[in-house]
Amino acid sequence: MAENHKKKSEKSVEQNIAQDYVPKEKLGNLPLAPKIGELRKQMEQIKKDAEKYKKELSKKFKYIEAVGIVPAQANKKIEEEYEIPEQDAKKGLIHIVTLIPEEKFKEIGKVRLEAITIAKEINDKFWIHVMTHVDIWNLCLDSKFEIGEAISMSFPVFDKGILGALRVSEIHKTLVLKKFEKYVTSYVIGGSMIRGTAKPTSDIDVFIVIDDTDVKRMPRLELKEKLRGIIQTYVQEAIAIAGVKNTLHVQVYLLTEFWEGVKDASPVMFTFIRDGVPLYDRSAFLPWKALLKMGKIKPSPESIDLFMRSGEKLEENVDRRLLDIVVYDLFWGINTPSQALLMLYGRPPSDVYGTVKEIRDIFVKKEKILEKKYADILEEIAIKYYKGWEHGKIKKISGTELDRLYKNSKEYMKRLQELRRQIEKRVQEKTIEQVYKDVFSMLEALLKTKGEKAVIKEFEDKLIKTGKFPHRFLKKLEFIAKVKNNIEKEEKKSKKGALSKNILDVEEARKSGAEITNALIEYTQRCDFLSMDRTRFMIRQKNKIIGEIFFLDEVFLIQGNKIKKLQNNRFIDANADEFRKQITSKDNEVKINFKAIEILKNDLGDFELVY
């Protein structure tokens, strides 16, 4: 026996068969029927009875694959399909689907008889349908899609995989048809589902044929991509609703391209037509399947020649793919990291020839931290093979040679990792040396003292204790000195190329050095400005500023754009360089030249000096 039903959504199944799957809080404020509690109890009892039925039947037939409760909405279709007597139908039957393997088909009568006997003892409303998965496919092949859908949407009391896989396919089909039914010609399932080998985690292969014969404005490829994009978005939604672990693989074909594939005897299309079972079809797939079975769809001589020619290109294709591994995978796999290490060293990325040359010149010859054989490996793959292929000199490579180059590439990359640590170590050393030099040289010039300890002491006495710098700057200065000394000690003890453990300290020292340097620059500029400001006075006459006078090594007078200096008891023209040189001198001692004031008074008359 088998079944059919009206097309219902998963939501309908949950509402009408498995009410306990719907949390109370999701019912919202909808008015509940007075007998909702009674209905729920009935559903619970049906489930318990079905569980008991499954348990008893499985004891006698361990190969049972699935037991499901058909949705009540499908009862009428099921009863019409299998001509259930009217007097029985009026009892409000509960249809139970029991699936067994196809190889046990000969025992179907025995299983049915035992199943009916067990069911009558448990619940007299149970109506048993025993079938194999082939029976379900035959329903679909007879265009009885509603019956197949009813079985697919059965509430699973027990399932080894086939009901779950069918359910996710049906839900996905429903979502797709709801969105754009007029474009879908066929929705076909294939793979392990059809062979009857599906497991709870088996992949589900689905093919959807899209009718593009009436497309006028949109390019066909664009139509296909847009529909495929929408169809793919429904995959995860269907899996979530179905509550299964199966992966749904969906392939979308345009009707025109599918027909071209059939004419050209595409193996994919032939297999698709031969083995596929439609869950939905608008009189397209089933006629193709019938024609193929009758031998009416045959490969053309041209397609046979095409397939034969593909075999003739076997050697050419293999040679090309072997060479592709060298010129794409191996070359880029070692060339790009090589450029990265050159950038770490401070060199900008170069072309292929430049990269090979710099790796050899810098790391092998100059720094002497890389063995020559590794530069040779890079040169062979990059120059001989990659550039040789690019210039048409290298056209094929043997498997033995490829294996050798592959081993060399792995060895090269392993050595490059070690080289990176060596370079980072050098960068650390240079960084701390530069930071130390920048900070201590500035302090030596400012404090007029030399030596690490002397500089730190003078810095504390003259700049920290006097409040010119915060106390944390002393800690930062001592930290810079400590990190430099630690790395020098580590260098003497550590193995060649070992990366310093103080990498974080070096970065912290660099930041501290930058902070101290910026503060020192600002401090010296402020001192220079104050020194300059003490030498300058404004000349005010009748409440108006008419110029400036600077008491430097010489006395300078600035009025508008003119610069003058005092010489031989009179002000004469001077140039800007003279003035700039004296005003930027750090050894200026401010002395008021009263003689200059008298001379200026004779020239200008009465005036005031304003500081």
pLDDT in tens, 395-417: 889 989 999 999 999 999 999 99
Give the residue from 527, 544, 568 where a domain finishes: 527
CA-CA distance, 99 to 159, in Å (whole number)?
Answer: 9
The pLDDT value given to residue 32: 43
- Of 123, 141, 160, at which residue does a domain stop? 160
**Assigned domain for 90 exists:** yes
Count: domains in the chain:
5
Say if residues 268 and 205 touch (Cβ distance below 8 Å). no
Please provide the distance, in angstroms rounded to a whole number, between the alpha carbons at the two ends of the chain.
114
Residue 528, pLDDT score: 60
Q: Say whether both 343 and 449 belong to one domain.
A: no
Two tokens at 471?
A: 């106390």
pLDDT of the residue at 497: 45
Are residues 3 and 120 part of one domain?
Answer: yes
In a domain, 326, yes or no: yes
Judging by beta carbons within 10 Å of its beta carbon (0-12, 13-18, 19+), is residue 330 exposed, middle or buried? Answer: buried
Pair (156, 9) in one structural domain: yes
380 burial class (0-12, 13-18, 19+ CB within 10 angstroms)? Answer: middle
Q: Cα 238 vs. chain centroid, distance in angstroms?
A: 24
User: Does 133 reside within a domain?
Assistant: yes
Cβ(415)–Cβ(497) below 8 Å: no
pLDDT of residue 376: 95
Chain centre distance of CA 552: 68
Structure tokens of 484? 């430099």
Check which CATH number belongs to the domain holding 227 and give it.
3.30.460.10
- Residues 507 and 576 grouped into a single domain: no
Q: Do 393 and 482 fall within a single domain?
A: no
In a domain, 295, yes or no: yes
Residues facing residue 281 across a β-bridge? 186
If asked whether residues 176 and 143 sit together in one domain, one would say: no
Contacts of 257 (CB under 8 A, 6+ apart): 220
Whether residue 44 is contained in a domain is answered as yes
User: CA–CA separation, 600 vs 48, rounded Å?
Assistant: 118
pLDDT of residue 280: 94
410, part of any domain: no
In angstroms, the CA 402 to CA 393 distance is 17
Taking 50 as the pLDDT cut, the residues of the chain under it are: 1-34, 496-500
Residue 301: predicted pLDDT? 66
Is residue 102 included in any domain, yes or no?
yes
Q: How far apart are CA 185 and CA 260, in angstroms?
A: 16
Q: How far does CA 602 lie from the centroid of its chain?
A: 84
Q: Are residues 522 and 542 in the same domain?
A: no
Q: Are residues 153 and 188 in the same domain?
A: no
Residue keyed to tokens 């608008």: 282
**What are the CB-based long-range contacts (under 8 Å, 24+) for 420-427?**
420/341, 420/344, 421/497, 421/498, 421/499, 422/369, 422/496, 422/497, 422/499, 423/341, 423/344, 423/345, 423/369, 424/344, 424/499, 424/503, 425/497, 425/498, 425/499, 425/500, 426/367, 426/369, 427/344, 427/345
Give the per-residue pLDDT at 359: 93
Strand order across the 277-281 sheet: 248-254, 204-210, 184-190, 277-281
Return the biggest CA–CA distance within the chain: 140
Together in a domain, 329 and 201? no
Within 8 A by CB and 6+ apart from 172, the residues are 206, 234, 235, 238, 248, 250
d(CA 485, CA 442): 19
99's enclosing H/E stretch is strand 94-99
Task: Convert the pLDDT of each residue in 572-602 to its tens digit.
Answer: 888 888 887 777 665 556 677 888 888 888 8
Instruction: Mark whether 141 and 8 lie in a shared domain.
Output: yes
Within 181-294, residue ranges assigned H as helices are: 192-195, 220-242, 255-263, 267-275, 285-293
Q: Do 120 and 32 share a structural domain?
A: yes
Instruction: Determine the pLDDT at residue 582.
Output: 76
Looking at the fold, whether 233 and 260 belong to one and the same domain comes out as yes
Domain hosting 101: range is 1-160
Which of residues 495, 527, 559 is at a domain's end? Answer: 527
Single-letter amino acid, residue 581:
K
Q: How far apart are CA 364 and CA 341, in angstroms?
A: 13
Within a domain: 270? yes
Note if the pTM is more than 0.75.
no
